[in-house]
Structure 1
Amino acid sequence: MIRTFAAALVAGTTVAHDPAVGTNHLPPRSIPTGRVALDDQQVAAWPEPAPGQLTPTVPFSMCWSPIVRCNLTCPQCLDDKGVRESTPAERQELAGHIARSGVLGVDLSGGEPLLLRDLPDLARAIRDAGTMAVSCTTNGWHLARRAPELVGAVDAVRVSLDGATEHTHDTWRGPDSYRRAIAGIRAAVDEGLRVQLQMVLMRANRHEAQDLLHRAAQLGAGGVTFLQMLPIGDGAALADQQMLTDDQARDLVADLTVPTGIRVRLRTRDSADGFTVLRADGYAWRNTGGATAITALIPITGPDDLRSPAA
């Protein structure tokens, strides 16, 4: 499949960012910078930079949570629900700061971003700058209704599924959340959007990892990202009971049989260290301590506030 990636020169080396999977790759040949159409299977075969191999002056990618509100109450949620939400005008201003920051990829998350009427406008404001790729992470509840609005606004949609079965997923996310997410995935795929499923790995759902890969293939999704649980926010209360070690997660993913055409990624806590998150109130943090804590908050008043070195 030919889809959109974002590429830039970092210390003389070209880096391509995958907005669906969230990975960065080193092309073996010259490619244009900015938003560029590439074959996703070829990009998947390109190597990823080794830790410390490159020293960017801006994060390769970041998460922006422009909304605090969510229609679900997941116990493993890492969001800070006590912060103020920016006004529509403030959100547009933040989108402009991100668009001019030099970041390769931004994921619009939350809360639940599809509760925002202006979400497509925010995504376009970033995308139209022509230098970065944009994704959206959603619980899928409203995706079937809003998928047509996302076409031409985002380059990929990431849908959270905490199990391959209705029982497991709804245990964590609430009644009817699995059915609504599946309907949303199908609608997004039918609209031609690139969909990546995301599972927060826990002791309670790791037995369904293999089945989730098969479910992704059946639904027409492009892949599955397994996210190591972070002991931040509400998730801190579940850490002792539910967290896997990074080594346990690596062993689990290494033993999976991957269907043809499905792209699998494991985001360990170690790899999430240093990741940048912009909150709904316009303050940013970075994960620290192996993604078990966060740095002091930084107010984002311009693109330069996002241009400090990051892992």
Structure 2
Amino acid sequence: MIRTFAAAAINGTMVVHDPAVGTNHLPPQPLPSGRIALDEHQVAAWPEAQPGQLTPKAPLSMCWSPIVRCNLACPHCLDDKSVRESSAEERQQLAGHITASGVLGVDLSGGEPLLLRDLPDLAQAIRAGERAVVSCTTNGWHLARRAQELAPALDAIRVSLDGATAATHDTWRGTDSHSRAIDGTQAAVAAGLRVQFQMVLMRSTYHEAQALLDLASQLGVGGVTFLQLLPIGEGQAIADDQMLTDEQARAAVYSLTVPDGVRVRLRTRGSADGFTVLRADGYAWRNTGGATSITAFLPVNGPEDLHLPTAASAS
């Protein structure tokens, strides 16, 4: 499948960012910088750029959470709901700062980003710089009605599923959330969006990892990212009961049978360390302490403010 990636030379090393999976790859030959169409199977075969391997000024990829509000109340949510939300004008300014910072990949998250009417405008504003690729992480509740509108503005969409079945998923996210996410996924695939499922690995959910891979294959979803639970935000309250060790997570994921055409990634807490997050109040944060905490750095008033002191460790 040919889709859009972001390529750039970082201190003489060519890097390609995958907006669906969130990985960075090292191509064997020079490529034009900027947004570039590549075969996803070819990109997946290239070695991954590991954290600390490069020393970019700006993070290679980042998460921007322009909204705090959400229609669900998940007990493993990472978001700090005490921060204020920027105005529509401030969001446009932040989008401009992100574009000018040199970042390759931006994931729009929240809160629930599909509650923002100006979400397509924000994505297009970032892509206008012809450098970055843009994805969006959603709980899928409103995706069916917005998929056609979002398809021209996004390079990928990530749908959060905490299990392959409604019985498991709805336990964590609420009644009907599984069916709404599946309906949204089908609409997004039909609209031509590259979809990636994201599942938080927990002691009560990881037994459905194989079934989720099989479901992804049935629905035409391109891949599944398994995320280690981070003891951040509301997730702190369930960490002792639900967190797997990285070793347990690797054992669970590496034993799976991966269907043809489905890309699998495990994001351990170690690989999430140093990742940059721009919160709804316009402050840039960074995962620290092995991604067990979030540290505030400074307000983003210009593109240089995203060049945080530890940017070399960004994933």
TM-score after normalising by structure 1 = 0.99
Q: Secondary structure at the match of 1:96?
A: helix
The equivalent of 1:153 in structure 2 is 153
For residues 28-66 of structure 1, give each alpha carbon's deviation from its aligned partner in whole angstroms, at most 9, with x where no partner exists. 122111000000000000001234321222111000000
- Map 1:154-303; keep pairs closer than 5 Å: 154-303=154-303
The equivalent of 1:111 in structure 2 is 111
Q: How far, CA to CA, are the matches of 2:296 and 2:105 in structure 1?
A: 23
Q: How far, CA to CA, are the matches of 1:11 and 1:297 in structure 2?
A: 25
Q: How far, CA to CA, are the matches of 2:282 and 2:12 in structure 1?
A: 32
Q: Secondary structure at the match of 1:297?
A: strand
Percent sequence identity over matched residues? 74
The equivalent of 2:306 in structure 1 is 306
For residues 279-303 of structure 1, give each alpha carbon's deviation from its aligned partner in whole angstroms, at most 9, with x where no partner exists. 1010111000000011233100000
Supply the AA of the counterpart residue of 2:145: R
Q: CA deviation at 1:171?
A: 0.3
TM-score after normalising by structure 2 = 0.98
Let me know the Cα RMSD of the aligned residues: 0.7
Supply the AA of the counterpart residue of 1:310: A
The equivalent of 1:32 in structure 2 is 32
For residues 151-207 of structure 1, give each alpha carbon's deviation from its aligned partner in whole angstroms, at most 9, with x where no partner exists. 221100000000000100000000000000000000000000000000000000010
Equivalent residues of 1:26, 1:49 under 8 A apart: yes
Supply the AA of the counterpart residue of 1:255: S
The equivalent of 2:141 in structure 1 is 141
- Map 1:29-108; keep pairs closer than 5 Å: 29-108=29-108
Q: Secondary structure at the match of 1:30?
A: coil
Q: How far, CA to CA, are the matches of 2:50 and 2:290 in structure 1?
A: 17
Equivalent residues of 2:104, 2:133 under 8 A apart: yes
Structure 2: runs of 5 or more not aligned: none
Equivalent residues of 1:275, 1:310 under 8 A apart: no
Supply the AA of the counterpart residue of 1:170: D
Q: How far, CA to CA, are the matches of 1:297 and 1:233 in structure 2?
A: 17
Detail structure 1 runs of 4+ shifted over 3 Å in the superposition: none
For residues 53-110 of structure 1, give each alpha carbon's deviation from its aligned partner in whole angstroms, at most 9, with x where no partner exists. 2122211100000000000000000100011001000000000000111000000000
Structure 1: runs of 5 or more not aligned: none
Q: CA deviation at 1:310?
A: 3.5
Equivalent residues of 2:52, 2:312 under 8 A apart: no
Equivalent residues of 1:160, 1:197 under 8 A apart: yes
Q: How far, CA to CA, are the matches of 2:52 and 2:279 in structure 1?
A: 27
Equivalent residues of 2:200, 2:226 under 8 A apart: yes
Equivalent residues of 2:7, 2:33 under 8 A apart: yes
CA distance 1:127–1:230, shift in 2 (3 Å): same
Equivalent residues of 2:203, 2:244 under 8 A apart: yes
Equivalent residues of 1:226, 1:266 under 8 A apart: yes
Q: How far, CA to CA, are the matches of 1:272 and 1:22 in structure 2?
A: 11
- Map 1:7-22; keep pairs closer than 5 Å: 7-22=7-22
Supply the AA of the counterpart residue of 2:263: R
